[in-house]
Structure 1
Amino acid sequence: MITKSEEAGWATAKTLAEALPYIQIYDRETVVIKYGGHAMGEDEVAKLFAADAVLLKLMGLHPVVVHGGGPQISRMLDRAGVKSTFIDGLRVTDEATMEVAEMVLSGAINKEIANWITLAGREADVRGVGLSGKDARLITVTKAERTRKDPDSNIEQVVDLGFVGEPQKVDAELIEVLINSEKDYIPVVAPIGVSEEGQTFNVNADTVAGALAGALKAKRMLLLTDVPGVKDGNGELIRQMTVAEAAELIRTGVANGGMIPKLETAMAAIADGVEAVVILDGRRPHAMLVELFTEFGAGTLIKA
Structure 2
Amino acid sequence: MRQDLVVIKLGGASLLDPATRDQVVKTVRDYRRYDYDVVLVHGGGPAINAELTKRNISWSFINGQRVTSVEMINVIENVLFGQINAELVAALNEGGVPAIGLSGAKNNLLHCKQASAELGQVGLVESVNAEFVQALIAPEKNVVPVIAPIGIGEDAELFNINADWAAAKIASALKAKKLIFLTDQNGILDQDKKLIEHTDYVQLQQLINDGTVSGGMYTKVLTVVDALVHGVSQVRILRGTQAYDGLWSDYVGTMCKSSEVNYV
**Shorter chain as normaliser: what TM range?**
over 0.9
* Residues 67-106 of structure 1 aligned to structure 2 (within 5 Å): 67-106=42-81
Q: Does 1:130 align with 2:101?
A: yes
Quote how far apart the aligned CAs of 1:183 are: 4.0
Q: In structure 2, do the counterparts of structure 1 residues 144 and 117 end up closer, same or farther at CA, with 3 Å as the change threshold?
A: same
Quote how far apart the aligned CAs of 1:68 are: 0.2
Is this contact kept in 1: 2:235–2:255, CA < 8 A? Answer: yes
Aligned partners of 1:85 and 1:233: how far apart in 2? Answer: 26
Residue of structure 2 aligned with 1:228, choices 177, 180, 186:
186
1:301 maps to 255
Is this contact kept in 2: 1:37–1:68, CA < 8 A? Answer: yes
Give the TM-score normalised by structure 1: 0.81
Further displaced range: 91-100 or 66-75: 91-100
Is this contact kept in 1: 2:63–2:216, CA < 8 A? Answer: no
Q: Does 1:112 align with 2:87?
A: yes
Is this contact kept in 2: 1:232–1:254, CA < 8 A? Answer: yes
Q: In structure 2, do the counterparts of structure 1 residues 97 and 211 end up closer, same or farther at CA, with 3 Å as the change threshold?
A: same
Quote how far apart the aligned CAs of 1:116 are: 0.4
Further displaced range: 203-212 or 165-174: 165-174
1:254 maps to 212
Alpha carbon RMSD of aligned pairs, Å?
Answer: 1.5
1:42 maps to 17
Is this contact kept in 1: 2:135–2:141, CA < 8 A? Answer: no
Is this contact kept in 1: 2:111–2:152, CA < 8 A? Answer: yes
Quote how far apart the aligned CAs of 1:47 are: 2.5
Say which SS state the counterpart of residue 258 (structure 1) adopts: helix
Say which SS state the counterpart of residue 180 (structure 2) adopts: strand
Count residues in correspondence: 257
Give the TM-score normalised by structure 2: 0.92
Quote how far apart the aligned CAs of 1:278 are: 0.8
1:155 maps to none
* Residues 218-297 of structure 1 aligned to structure 2 (within 5 Å): 218-282=176-240, 284=241, 287-294=242-249, 296-297=250-251
Is this contact kept in 2: 1:290–1:297, CA < 8 A? Answer: no
Say which SS state the counterpart of residue 137 (structure 1) adopts: coil
Aligned partners of 1:82 and 1:266: how far apart in 2? Answer: 31
Is this contact kept in 1: 2:23–2:243, CA < 8 A? Answer: no
Question: Would you identify which runs of 4 or more consecutive aligned residues in structure 1 move more than 4 Å?
Answer: none
Aligned partners of 1:161 and 1:257: how far apart in 2? Answer: 15
2:129 maps to 171
Q: Please, which runs of 5 or more residues in structure 2 have no aligned partner?
A: 259-264
* Residues 141-152 of structure 1 aligned to structure 2 (within 5 Å): 141-145=112-116
Say which SS state the counterpart of residue 144 (structure 2) adopts: strand
Aligned partners of 1:216 and 1:165: how far apart in 2? Answer: 20
Further displaced range: 129-138 or 95-104: 129-138
Quote how far apart the aligned CAs of 1:172 are: 0.9
What are the superposed Cα offsets for residues 15-51 of structure 1, whole Å, 9 maximum, x if unpaired?
A: xxxxxxxxxxxx6211100100112232233123223
Further displaced range: 253-262 or 183-192: 253-262
1:10 maps to none
Aligned partners of 1:297 and 1:172: how far apart in 2? Answer: 31
Q: Please, which runs of 5 or more residues in structure 1 have no aligned partner?
A: 1-26, 146-158
Is this contact kept in 1: 2:63–2:214, CA < 8 A? Answer: no
Say which SS state the counterpart of residue 30 (structure 1) adopts: strand
Is this contact kept in 2: 1:57–1:184, CA < 8 A? Answer: no
Say which SS state the counterpart of residue 46 (structure 2) adopts: helix
Letter matched to residue 64 of structure 2:
G
Say which SS state the counterpart of residue 83 (structure 2) adopts: helix
Q: Does 1:66 align with 2:41?
A: yes
Q: In structure 2, do the counterparts of structure 1 residues 164 and 87 end up closer, same or farther at CA, with 3 Å as the change threshold?
A: same
2:262 maps to none
2:155 maps to 197
Quote how far apart the aligned CAs of 1:242 are: 1.0
Say which SS state the counterpart of residue 230 (structure 1) adopts: coil
Aligned partners of 1:77 and 1:232: how far apart in 2? Answer: 34
